[in-house]
Amino acid sequence: MDWKKKLGFIVPSWNTVMEYECQRMAPEGVSVHFTRVDHGIGAEKQVEEVPQLAELLGHANLDAICFGCTVASFVRPGIDQEISEIIEQKTNVPATTTTTAIIQALREMDVSRLALASPYRQELNDRLIQFLDGYGFEVTRERGLNIRGASFLPPEEVEALAREVDTPDADAILISCTNIRSLEVIDQLEADLGKPVLTSNAAALWYTLRVAGFEEPATAGGTLLRDHLSTVSHP
């Protein structure tokens, strides 16, 4: 098949959700290709593994590559850009990370205040809030479930969590973590709450498509992917 665009993703080894959701959100003619990094070695060690993993992904002649772990790309200031630069240096392919994609998605949707739902322990939620604050985004309410391996959570529980954190002054809801199922509930949440619902996976796919120069709307993944795909200059 003559693919319109081919996208690559590096995900933690235990992640069973991102690949599943990206395959279902990807517009017709877009292929998604995944490789894995050991989730148990910690964020900094994961970054050390990125050059080799990116080089292997590059063999597929991809149009863009995304580092698909939210936590590992916000654990310290600047790590998201560092990861992208490593990938680009090894592959000569435009690259991004999940957290970079989230920031770009929030900007695209004109969000200044957001409610945050995640499976994280409080320490990680606090780091993410600090990361978002560094880009000028205010979190109006947050809750982390303090669990590991969140892929077992049914989408209905994720939906309930999103409704719980929503506040009237939040411009959007962010469901953070690429290993938490949310695709099945995005559209219903947006319809009921009257605001964008952004997820790590939807944002990552959206911005990776943009970086690759893909312009056609998707049919799944919420307002972001349906209404906000157009070519932008890669930073």
Looking at the structure of the chain, the number of domains it has is 2
Same domain, 22 and 35: yes
**Domain co-membership, 43 together with 84:** yes
Give pLDDT tens digits for 66-125: 999 998 888 788 888 999 999 999 999 999 999 999 999 999 999 999 999 999 999 999
Does some domain include residue 69? yes
For residue 207, the SS3 value is: helix
**For the chain, how are helix, strand and coil distributed in percent, rounded to 5?**
45, 20, 35
Beta strand spans in the chain (E): 5-12, 30-37, 64-67, 95-97, 113-118, 138-144, 172-175, 197-199
Cα 62 to Cα 195: distance, rounded to the nearest angstrom = 33
Cα dihedral 103/104/108/112 (nearest 10): 20
> pLDDT class for 180, splitting at 50, 70, 90?
very high
CATH number at residue 63: 3.40.50.12500
Distance (Å, whole) CA 160 – CA 189: 10
> Dihedral of the CA atoms 172, 175, 178, 184 (nearest 10)?
-90
Q: Is residue 127 part of a domain?
A: yes
Residue 187's alpha-carbon distances to 41, 64, 167, 168, 176, in angstroms, are 35, 27, 18, 19, 17
d(CA 65, CA 178): 15
- Based on the domain organization, do 212 and 172 belong to the same domain? no
Confidence of residue 1 (pLDDT cuts 50, 70, 90): low
In a domain, 55, yes or no: yes
Q: Is residue 22 part of a domain?
A: yes
Which residues form the domain of 73? 5-97+202-219
Q: Is 40 found in the same domain as 125? A: no
Indicate the pTM of the whole model: 0.94
Q: Are residues 81 and 169 in the same domain?
A: no
Using one digit for the tens of pLDDT, what is the confidence trace for 14-59?
999 999 999 999 999 999 999 999 988 877 788 889 999 999 999 9
| Statement to judge: residues 144 and 187 lie in one domain | yes
Q: Are residues 118 and 186 in the same domain?
A: yes
Q: Which residue has the tokens 């989730």?
A: 39
113 and 186 assigned to the same domain: yes
Query: Is residue 224 situated within a structural domain?
Result: no
The pLDDT score that the predictor gives to residue 106 is 98
